[in-house]
Amino acid sequence: MRVAIIGAGVIGLSSALCIHEQFHGLVPSLELEVYADHFTPHTTSDGAAGLWQPYLSDHGNLQETLWNKETFDYLLNHLHSPAAKEMGLYLISGYNLFTEPVPDPSWKNIVLGFRNLTPKELQVFPGYSYGWFNTALMLEGRSYLPWLTNRLTQRGVKFFHKKVESFQELFSQGVDVVLNCSGMRAGDLQPDPELQPGRGQIIKVLAPWVKHFIITHDLKSGIYSSPYIIPGTEFTVLGGIYQHGNWSEENSAKDHKSIWDSCCRLLPALKKAKIVGEWSDLRPARPSVRLERESIRLGNHQAEVIHNYGHGGFGITIHWGCAMAAARLLGSILQEKKQLASPPGPRL
């Protein structure tokens, strides 16, 4: 039973690990293979700051809120494990800032210690009159992806550095199920007009005195188009760019200036921070995550694809919930193919 995962970002690798953990004992013939044109540190997940935080509103998409919660709880349980440092996992607190009162977010009871900001705290951020404080998690892609890769390699999962041109290509080689975790380039495998780039650009600086994340919001201009500052272990990420429909992966001088000026206005001490890098990439944005089975007729048999893409700017935030959902879909497929007596129970 050959299962091929296309994509080696956080979605592809975590789906592979989740599937292997759940099924390798139950399906002795299970062989997992990961195909990708980019591996860490060159994936979209590597550039993301790694902060666990969903968008402000789930637009009634409770399924996604549940997947976010499953991810947070899963990560929280790993916080005290010896692997935490290697995973790039740690607690972080910080501020969400607004220029007007807003309703509480769908994730207020998922994170720890969620509360409104006090007037004295708002003095730190002139121009913002309302906000939240909470404790969340950081999961740095630059550490998490290598950690996932090591776990998968230990488990005998094979990696192939190639750009898969079609699902057909893998099925004709004898693959039984394909997991499509191709992120921004899912459209190359199967056209999807709902998948659009949400271009982002960030500046990496050395500002080790910053211990909190600071995310501002401009309700008119939309998510991530207002300055944000996220401190990591090796550098601090300055951002605030979200350009829907822009496919450019080149750094823009105009965006650099916009990020720099707005972040320095937010935290004047940043003017003295040393810039150590800059990066642009495309958030694989979609009105909702595409997480579903698709049966493809190939000659006289049926091939199965599980789609798991379109996680926009919240891939790290939602990844484990989606990986578990993808594993459940695989469970159904395995059952149908008589590889499995009954699907495994819920993961403890």
Partner 1 sequence: MASPKVAVVGAGVIGLSTALCITETCPSCSVTVLSDQFSPNTTSNVAAGMLIPHTYPDTPIHRQRQWFKETFTYLFAISNSAEASEAGIHLVSGWQIFKSTPKEELPFWSDIVLGFRPMSEAELQKFPRHQFGQAFTTLKCDCPPYLLWLEKRLKATGAQIYTRKVADLWELQSEYNIVVNCAGMGAQQLVGDKQLFPVRGQVLKVHAPWVKHFIRDGDGLTYIYPGIHRVTLGGTREKGSWSRSPDPGTTRDIFDRCCSLEPSLQGAQDIEVKVGLRPSRQCVRVQREVLSQGGVKLPVVHNYGHGAGGFSVHWGTASEAAHLVGECISALQGSSSRAKL
Known binding-site residues equal: 44-45, 49-51, 53, 164, 217, 228, 283, 312-317
* Residue 182 to residue 25: CA distance in whole angstroms: 27
Q: Is 211 in the site for partner 1 (CB under 8 A)?
A: yes
Q: What is the nearest approach in angstroms of partner 1 to the Cβ of residue 269?
A: 4
Which one, 1 or 205, has the nearer CB to partner 1?
A: 205
**For 130-152, what is the HEC assignment?**
EEEEEEEEEECHHHHHHHHHHHH
Lay out the site mask for partner 1 across 189-208 (x = CB under 8 A, - = otherwise): ------------------xx
Q: Is 108 in the site for partner 1 (CB under 8 A)?
A: no
* Residue 31 to residue 2: CA distance in whole angstroms: 5
Angle made by CA atoms 294, 299, 305, in degrees to the nearest 5: 20
Q: Is 271 in the site for partner 1 (CB under 8 A)?
A: yes
Which one, 124 or 296, has the nearer CB to partner 1?
A: 124
Lay out the site mask for partner 1 across 109-128 (x = CB under 8 A, - = otherwise): ---xx-x-xx-xx-xx----
Q: Which of 25, 59, 62, 79 binds partner 1 (CB under 8 A)?
A: 79
Q: What is the nearest approach in angstroms of partner 1 to the Cβ of residue 148?
A: 18
DSSP line for 36-102: ES--TTSSHHHHS--B----S--TT-HHHHHHHHHHHHHHHHHTTSTTHHHHTEEEEEEEEEESS--
Q: What is the nearest approach in angstroms of partner 1 to the Cβ of residue 125?
A: 9
Number of Cβ atoms within 10 Å of the Cβ of 300: 5
Q: What is the nearest approach in angstroms of partner 1 to the Cβ of residue 270?
A: 8
Is residue 16 within 8 Å of residue 5, measured between CB atoms? yes
Q: Is 91 in the site for partner 1 (CB under 8 A)?
A: yes
